[in-house]
Structure 1
């Protein structure tokens, strides 16, 4: 009344006036426009002022009802009344009730206008946050990104122009930044769409001031910034504070691990953190809308500096390392995913369970065909003292002398029949980590209380299958260090990393390796016996020779006594030496240049060939005991040598293990090694995850450098 007439006469009372008084004033002073702002705030405060039996807030509500009805009945009267669009501004329960009454009062005759339309928000944001923007620079940056996105297949020809215009209007923000904040986060009742977006973006701008970035992406929302994080968490729940910490921002989070693992060329982009941040920002909506597509992630993360295919790699790695990234899509939840369940279950696997599984795996992965195995002997008496070759498997880095020197309470005689297989420390850590995960997965598969989805059950089954396929390789890479008896105790040999992904036999692996190294012989040349033993002696006792090979540390190892027997047979038939018997002080030549019968009995001897013209030979002096020194290399004639070798091989499928054996052998002969491998495969397909997990990861673990990489 005062604003319209300059005085207050009809409305002096604290009680709300009726329609007659209001109508009289408005009619006499029309046309009239009434603007009422912050109405709810006024009513909330006025509710604390008593007016008779009621309060000023209730009287104000009554006045507004009368005013609305009166204005509706007068031709030249107009009322504009502002109400909040979100619960955040309703203050308390009393304010909520007042708000509901206001909506009911105005609802019958209202016409609602949004102060900022969806298509206007980008202009409002730029106007409020920036004084001026260089449009020429905007065009340059936007055009560069659009061209890159087109080449990467992220925008179709139909989408290019529309996205270009949206980006120009929203710059320096990517269009999806505004869309996600305004439409998804803005759908939360607690999020003020315009004010909330402006406040959040102002924080992001301030955080990005010193960063060299051509534009601001969803992935640039620094969740380590406490203000930015709090601004988001207050709408989705405090439990997401720990989710962000564990999966995205803490130094040991999965995202930070992916930052390091993704490759040195991309390390500066921190793609693990960038991708997980973008996914997080697209994970929430007040309307229940969750998640995003890989294409949306790529658009939210890439810059013209790198190709979008690396985003696929980052996503795959994040799926393996994050604990709260949903198993059903690209979005975060506050419930642990399979990764978290697996890690929790792994933490409950006991050390004795791992050791028991390790023993079971060894028992399944070893036979008695090649070498007689003795698994984890506690005492020297657990390994018999006999003539057969024995593989002593120890769960430690190197053997001690007890088993080598003793057999129970007696000194060990056949020391050169012992082959010790010990663990590689790095391989042990890898094997135990592998077994811990395998046992955890088996436990999860059997646990009906978890109530996994069918997709999660399938994932667990596939993970178990993948691990089962490499169990023998993990075992072999742990048990790879061989210790052989030598004059000074032990001689160490390393079998190296296995290239065999299938089932293997530890006994055969050791046997084949030692055979390739010339330690175990399946064939012995007669000339070796002549040069080593008969060169300075008239004869050699065969049984003593055999016992010497078995008992002298550092001697060659014969696959069996048949190797020696066949060598002697061949030598006798070819006339390299004769076979006879020692009778007192006489030598009797029994076989020469004919098939002999060898019994390995006492006084059975091999004799120099030039002495066998006579059947009996007098011995002028005793033959000295055999000197326990290694036999010379097997050869029939003088060797020729290569000082360097270069081979280019075409290897058939299944032939790589042979190549590995050859390489191991060559490394013992040459000090300089330059080994390069070219792998070329086609006419098939391999998904990106398998390439990263089964090929690149295996190469990284083996410290194998990729010199050139081409994929289509």
Structure 2
């Protein structure tokens, strides 16, 4: 799409930045004096840049009819809000009837005539009193403009209807234009006239004038009165005088509104642009309308399309925002102020590639533009703008950077914040903007509108003066809770952060693996056969190697049982910031010294809930590097956490290690045969398992699954199962499931050493009653040397000499049926006594009686603790107390 300034070409004075507020300040007196801005002074240029609204056309038409003596309203009062186009209408009447030939070229269907135009502007005419002589009366000014001098109407007393009628009748057709009358009356109040004052005389004169004009057929009085008196220092006095003026004018008034409805769009276009390519406008508008429809932003597509075409190159919301929201602020001049602001916006965007000007395209860092806005809302908003939007390190710009490379260049944080700021002010009750309205005013057709929601959320989290009330976002000059949060965040110490991380780890790690959080030395990690997950506070590979190699001062045996979970250091800043924010919000909730509104209490609660909802994913994103032993330290990155995953962190790690084949469910029998039994006749089972635990990089498997793998291999005939006794191996089972007790003497044996060959015996003919008995056979392992290869063969003899497979219990020697032990256990070794002694006894014996004898030289046990903690536990596990002796 083409840039807007190639489709709607601005006037040169706007492109050069020459426009000041005076340019848009319509001043009837300056026009009368042939001074001031050329746009108003030159009738040709004035009509070129003026859009003749229906109201203005009607006004000129009525005036023309009246001045021709064809009837019509004799008195017209133009009353609009401040800056609503009153003076512009008077200037249009001035040029129409002072220069009717020029006016005809621009006003169709009207035949204006040349008339005497009297120009009265209350701010330009000043009444004065010197030596009891008063000058500067309104009636004196009328005579001066008609006669060239003041001869008849030179008294400070209102002249009366007859003198006025004679003067006006002489010069008909006469058009009297009176602007800023209230300003004159306020000044006249200070000049004494006998027992009264000039203000009272002026009000009396206006009453006489209106009655006189009504009696004449070719004279018209058009006057303006303000809608309010806010621009006057003494509002009470001004209000009193305005009421009197309205009472006088109201008897014969007819009020006209110069600009109605959507005519403001054309007024603005005509004043700011020299030409507009309407075909290109339709193309651009159609693209935006299609986008709005796809995104579900618009309801009435066709109606809004027409509105966009009329307001181009401005988005319709730009005009409505300024004309209705800002225009309702009492000090804001509705037409002049809008034109001034829009001219500054165009000037700043004169080289921009944007195809349409939206509220978010206003550059509030542009000093002149910001000043035009701030003067209506208060100087305190300068600091608000700076902190949250315009400064190089503003909070909105931080949001810009946080959105990632795909959106960073769009500056959506600044744009959305700018739009919210513009919608935050109004003279009415409605302030702020909804999320739906933000999508309409800020969305870029090249990106999904849903990004606006993300931007708004980010702004809520970062801006100091952004508030949300009743679903609408707005700026205030009071800081929100974010400012308090930032202060609280700076007060959080590193130790508090470390404790919070430990708390979260304990909360979300789970129990799939034994976990050890933040060990101080290698001795803190036991050298046992279970798989262990070691969580380190930093990504410290040297410490990882230290723990793998050593168990305190001794070499570590079970190296292959260790896994390490370490943080990704590049994410530390983000994670710690998240934790600081979480702790800060929780601190605000607990701080009794902070007085919160109900809305803020709700906000704090919602914020804490949201942060708690995110804490697991944030923790997992930070803790994502796994190290494990191998030929060197192997690294696995868990990657970005899956949203909504309900697994604990240890479950996720365990599953990932299984996917990576670092933990296996079983050892394939063929692998055991080819890798571990290949060059051996037999291999002790327990020795093989120990080798897996101690050798980094070997398959990691639980003892239960390891035994199942051995059983499967024996059952399927890959190798046999037997025992090692007195240095000799004896096969117990093959192609059947063995019972493995996991003892030192249990071995797996090459299948060739376990297979039986059928004896080669000639058949004997026997009677049917005779039973054949197999001859005894012996099995011996012999060695037969060939040329360059050593072979092992099995010499088979009679079957009755083969040792039959027997259960392993036959080779275990004498058994123990009853055992009594009395042992003294060193301090700190009770858990190991239970793990390695009691568990083995419990696997063999059904009933175990334990005698506990405690005679301590140091320490004592409260009887209440004994009853509650010791006796109660014994009761809960159904233990029978056979003897109890307490001293």
User: Could you state the TM-score of these two structures normalised by the residue count of structure 2?
Assistant: 0.57
Aligned to 1:18: 157
Aligned to 1:235: 376
Which of the residues 452, 463, 469 maps onto 1:314? 452
Aligned to 1:480: 624
Is the CA contact (8 Å cut-off) linking 1:247 and 1:254 kept in structure 2?
yes
Residue deviations 1:224-264 (CA, integer Å, cap 9, x gap): 22111110111122333344344444455565567677798
Pick closer, same or farther for the CA change 1:389–1:110 going to 2, 3 Å. Answer: same
Is the CA contact (8 Å cut-off) linking 1:46 and 1:55 kept in structure 2?
no
Is the CA contact (8 Å cut-off) linking 2:156 and 2:193 kept in structure 1?
no
Cα distance in 1 between the residues matched to 2:304 and 2:782: 111
SS in 2 for 1:133: strand
Pick closer, same or farther for the CA change 1:412–1:270 going to 2, 3 Å. Answer: closer
SS in 1 for 2:502: helix
Is the CA contact (8 Å cut-off) linking 2:359 and 2:419 kept in structure 1?
yes
Which of the residues 488, 500, 518 maps onto 2:661? 518
Q: Which has the higher contact order (CA 8 A, sep 6+)?
A: 2
Aligned to 1:141: 281
Cα distance in 2 between the residues matched to 1:243 and 1:361: 37
Pick closer, same or farther for the CA change 1:592–1:451 going to 2, 3 Å. Answer: same
Give yes or no for the alignment of 1:224 onto 2:345: no
Which of the residues 527, 533, 549 maps onto 1:405? 549
Aligned to 1:100: 239
Is the CA contact (8 Å cut-off) linking 1:65 and 1:105 kept in structure 2?
yes
Unmatched 5+ stretches in structure 1? 620-712
Which of the residues 158, 169, 186 maps onto 2:327? 186
Pick closer, same or farther for the CA change 1:617–1:421 going to 2, 3 Å. Answer: farther
Give yes or no for the alignment of 1:373 onto 2:515: yes
Cα distance in 2 between the residues matched to 1:115 and 1:600: 103
Cα distance in 1 between the residues matched to 2:311 and 2:706: 87
Shift of 1:116: 3.5
Aligned to 1:29: 167
Alignment of 1:290-309 (within 5 A): 290-292=431-433, 296-297=437-438, 300=441, 306=445
Which of the residues 648, 652, 660 maps onto 1:505? 648
* Larger mean Cα displacement after TM superposition, 476-485 or 431-440: 431-440
Is the CA contact (8 Å cut-off) linking 1:327 and 1:337 kept in structure 2?
no
Cα distance in 2 between the residues matched to 1:576 and 1:55: 132
Which of the residues 474, 487, 492 maps onto 1:332? 474
Aligned to 1:284: 425
SS in 2 for 1:29: helix
Cα distance in 1 between the residues matched to 2:279 and 2:678: 93
Pick closer, same or farther for the CA change 1:209–1:610 going to 2, 3 Å. Answer: closer
Is the CA contact (8 Å cut-off) linking 1:549 and 1:557 kept in structure 2?
yes
SS in 2 for 1:553: coil
SS in 1 for 2:540: coil
Residue deviations 1:55-86 (CA, integer Å, cap 9, x gap): 99x95434424433544665659876655556
Pick closer, same or farther for the CA change 1:155–1:397 going to 2, 3 Å. Answer: closer
Cα distance in 2 between the residues matched to 1:162 and 1:535: 82
SS in 2 for 1:108: helix
Give yes or no for the alignment of 1:202 onto 2:343: yes
Pick closer, same or farther for the CA change 1:169–1:528 going to 2, 3 Å. Answer: closer
Cα distance in 2 between the residues matched to 1:511 and 1:168: 62
Question: Which has more radius of gyration?
Answer: 2
Q: How many residues matched?
A: 593
Pick closer, same or farther for the CA change 1:229–1:329 going to 2, 3 Å. Answer: farther
Aligned CA-pair RMSD: 4.6
Which of the residues 570, 576, 601 maps onto 2:719? 576
Pick closer, same or farther for the CA change 1:43–1:615 going to 2, 3 Å. Answer: farther
Cα distance in 2 between the residues matched to 1:237 and 1:352: 44
Unmatched 5+ stretches in structure 2? 1-139, 757-777, 784-887
Shift of 1:286: 0.9
Pick closer, same or farther for the CA change 1:195–1:533 going to 2, 3 Å. Answer: closer
Shift of 1:206: 2.2
Cα distance in 2 between the residues matched to 1:256 and 1:351: 28
Cα distance in 2 between the residues matched to 1:431 and 1:265: 22
Aligned to 2:788: none
Is the CA contact (8 Å cut-off) linking 1:404 and 1:485 kept in structure 2?
yes
Alignment of 1:69-88 (within 5 A): 69-71=207-209, 74=212, 76=215, 82=224
Give yes or no for the alignment of 1:424 onto 2:568: yes
Is the CA contact (8 Å cut-off) linking 1:86 and 1:192 kept in structure 2?
no
SS in 2 for 1:391: strand
Residue deviations 1:318-363 (CA, integer Å, cap 9, x gap): 2432431525334422155676666666555554444323222222
Cα distance in 1 between the residues matched to 2:164 and 2:643: 94
Cα distance in 2 between the residues matched to 1:413 and 1:28: 125
Cα distance in 2 between the residues matched to 1:568 and 1:171: 81
* Larger mean Cα displacement after TM superposition, 252-261 or 477-486: 252-261
Which of the residues 240, 248, 251 maps onto 1:109? 248
SS in 2 for 1:581: strand
Aligned to 2:849: none
Cα distance in 2 between the residues matched to 1:293 and 1:599: 73
Is the CA contact (8 Å cut-off) linking 1:580 and 1:604 kept in structure 2?
yes
Aligned to 2:502: 359
Is the CA contact (8 Å cut-off) linking 1:258 and 1:318 kept in structure 2?
no
Is the CA contact (8 Å cut-off) linking 2:285 and 2:309 kept in structure 1?
no
Cα distance in 2 between the residues matched to 1:262 and 1:458: 27
Aligned to 1:694: none
Cα distance in 2 between the residues matched to 1:508 and 1:297: 43
Give yes or no for the alignment of 1:244 onto 2:385: yes
Alignment of 1:98-177 (within 5 A): 99-111=238-250, 113=255, 116-119=258-261, 121-122=264-265, 124-130=267-273, 132-134=274-276, 137-138=277-278, 140-142=280-282, 145=285, 149=289, 152-153=292-293, 160=302, 164=306, 170-177=311-318
Alignment of 1:25-64 (within 5 A): 25-26=163-164, 29-31=167-169, 37-38=179-180, 60-64=198-202
Pick closer, same or farther for the CA change 1:581–1:318 going to 2, 3 Å. Answer: same
